[in-house]
Amino acid sequence: MSETILEPAVHQESEAGTTRRMTLNMGPQHPSTHGVLRVVLELDGEFIEKATPEIGYLHTGIEKQCEALNWQQVITLTDRVDYLANLSNNLCYSLAVEKLLGLEIPPKAQWMRVMLAELTRINSHLVWLGTHALDMGAMTMFFLTFREREDLLRLFEMFSGQRLMTSYIRIGGLALDPPRGWEKLVHAFLADFPSKLDEYETLLNNNPIWLRRTKGIGMIPVEQMLDVGITGPLIRAAGIPLDARKMTPYSSYEKFDFMVPTSTDNDVFARYTVRMAEMRESLKIVQQAMDGMPEGPTRADAHRVVLPEREKMKTQMEALIYHFKIVTEGIAVPEGEVFQVVESPRGELGYYVVSDGTAKPLRVHMRTPSFANLQGLPRLIEKRQIADAIAVMGSLDFVLGDCDR
């Protein structure tokens, strides 16, 4: 279908004294803000003159809480930072602490981590696609994407016992051995999902409303994006292949063959195409991880850090002692500091972890992608219409828990 795309409306300055500005509170309970975000809009008619995001409604003091818990207990808090990409957060924190400890992680655990991180990316992008399309009036997408997401959540539940707060990636490896029959479920998902992606694209790519509301909207020069700290699919849709998986590979990502999808259009539609391509790349990575999954243990051989197996605990005195020590005293992490970066579905996720040699972190700072991306929101929506702001906010794909911590 060929549809002429109209130039999106841009605000023209009116003569002085002829306009009356209005201030409008968007949120904190607005459905399109996907959480408790408040944006104070100064309006001139339908046009946004000035936008001021107010965050902090979901600030729960996670960084403070990290300083009060043992190293291994912090894992449960990292789940709650970005509640749509729990495993990416688990992974980032674990990698940081493992670097400080100097732990060697067995290949099987590394590959499982990669596989789960990529499934998390698909899961997160599915939620983004469903809610983004829902904001634009395409309600069917929401039902379709959540149908597929359910498969993934069932898979996460099978692995960790939890659908959302997985805490499955732990310091030293994985929390549990992979459950019996997990390959079958992942294979079924891999076989099924590409056709589902095609289905989404047939629904959206020729949809005139979708095209009009996304093409040419939310552009911002690349230099400004870098300056303000925007990362992830947004900056890749502007042509910069900034991806921590390629630039500073972690957890054996260098052994996987995948592309970093980019686009140069830099609008809301480009961000949609980039994320759709990313889901296909993630499928490729999951397939490679399945094909070449190494054999062996899923936890590092470090008795002072990793909890012993249950069977050993019941039969060996030493294992019981180590278990007792780890649980009661925690693990001592050598002095030092690490800034570990992983590519979360939303962009650059970094954990800055400082240890003073005790059983509790001195400081855990989370460099979360949503926080930095949201900071760029005013530049993306000012001088645009309110309806465009909805589209832009959807394309930012922020999670307020990730932003406020």
Partner 1 sequence: MLSEAMLENETIAGLVAAHPAAVLAGHTQFAEITLTIEPAEIVATLAYLKYHQGFDRLSTVTAVDRYPLDPRFEMVYHLQAVGRNLRLRLRASVAAEIASATIVYSGADWYEREVFDLFGVVFTGHPNMKRIMMPDDWEGHPLRRDFPTHGFKYSYGEQQ
**Of 190, 293, 332, 354, which lies in the binding site for partner 1, with binding defined by CB under 8 A?**
354
By CB under 8 A, residue 240 contacts partner 1: yes
Give the CA-trace dihedral at 248, 254, 256, 260, to 10 degrees.
30
Using alpha carbons, select from 353, 371, 333 the residue that is nearest to residue 93: 353
- CB nearer to partner 1: pick between 172 and 369: 369
Strand partners, 267: none
CA distance linking residue 150 with residue 196, whole number of Å: 13
The number of beta carbons lying within 10 Å of the beta carbon of residue 310 is 10
Complete DSSP assignment for 313-338 = HHH-HHHHHHHHHHHHH-----SEEE
Footprint (CB under 8 A) of partner 1, residues 162-201: none
Q: Is 367 in the site for partner 1 (CB under 8 A)?
A: yes
Residue 110 Cβ vs partner 1, minimum distance, rounded to whole Å: 17
Interface stretch with partner 1, choices 15-23, 126-134, 257-265, 347-355 (CB under 8 A): 347-355
CB closer to partner 1 out of 57 and 182: 57
Smallest gap from Cβ 347 to partner 1, in A, equals 11
Least separation in angstroms between CB 227 and partner 1: 5
What character string, x for contact with partner 1 (CB under 8 A) and - otherwise, covers 246-265?
Answer: -xx-----------------
- Axis-axis angle for helices 107-135, 182-204 (nearest 10): 30
Quick one: 134 or 403, whose CB is closer to partner 1?
403
| Closer CB to partner 1, 165 or 338, in the complex | 338
DSSP, collapsed to helix, strand or coil, labels residue 336 as strand
Query: According to the binding rule CB under 8 A, does residue 99 interact with partner 1?
Result: yes
Alpha helix (H) residue ranges in 35-181: 62-68, 74-79, 86-101, 107-135, 139-160
Selected from 150, 192, 198, 227, the binder of partner 1 by CB under 8 A is 227
Site string for partner 1, 65-94 (x = CB under 8 A): x-xx--------------------------
Q: Which is nearer to partner 1, 17 or 102 (CB)?
A: 102
- Helix/strand/coil for 139: helix
The sign one gets for the Cα dihedral 339, 396, 82, 111 is negative
Residue with Cβ nearer partner 1 (324 or 339): 339
Q: How far is the CB of 64 from partner 1 (least distance, A)?
A: 6
DSSP helix/strand/coil, 126: helix
DSSP state letter for 33: G
Q: Which is nearer to partner 1, 162 or 375 (CB)?
A: 375
Task: Provide the minimum distance between the beta carbon of 329 and partner 1 in the complex, in angstroms, as a whole number.
Answer: 19
Number of neighbours of residue 227 by Cβ within 10 angstroms:
11
Q: Which is nearer to partner 1, 157 or 337 (CB)?
A: 337
Q: Write the binding mask 49 to 68 for partner 1: x where contact by CB under 8 A, - elsewhere.
A: ------xx--x-x-xxx-xx
3-state class (DSSP) for residue 170? strand
Q: How far is the CB of 117 from partner 1 (least distance, A)?
A: 20
Place of tokens 């509170």: 25
Site size toward partner 1 (CB under 8 A) is: 37
- Judged by CB under 8 A, the stretch of 70-78, 175-183, 260-268, 360-368 that binds partner 1 is 360-368
Sign of the Cα torsion 75, 78, 80, 85 reads negative
Q: Which of 83, 142, 182, 352 binds partner 1 (CB under 8 A)?
A: 352
Q: Which residue in 44, 284, 336, 387 binds partner 1 (CB under 8 A)?
A: 336
What distance in Å separates the CA atoms of residue 174 and residue 109, rounded to the nearest whole number? Answer: 6
Q: Is 372 among the residues that bind partner 1 (CB under 8 A)?
A: yes
In a 3-state reduction of DSSP, which class is residue 276? helix
363 touches partner 1 by CB under 8 A: yes
> Identity (one letter) of the amino acid at 397?
D
The amino acid present at 147, given as its one-letter code, is R
Which pair of tokens denotes residue 129? 């696609």
**Amino acid letter for position 399:** V
Backbone angles phi, psi at 69, to 5 degrees: -110, 165
Is the previous residue joined to 8 through a cis bond, with omega within 30 degrees of 0? no
Q: Which two tokens stand for residue 271?
A: 């961000």
Q: Is residue 339 a contact point for partner 1 (CB under 8 A)?
A: yes
Give me the residues that bind partner 1 (CB under 8 A), please. 55-56, 59, 61, 63-65, 67-68, 99-100, 223, 226-229, 240, 242, 247-248, 336-339, 341, 348, 350, 352, 354, 362-363, 365, 367, 371-372, 375, 404
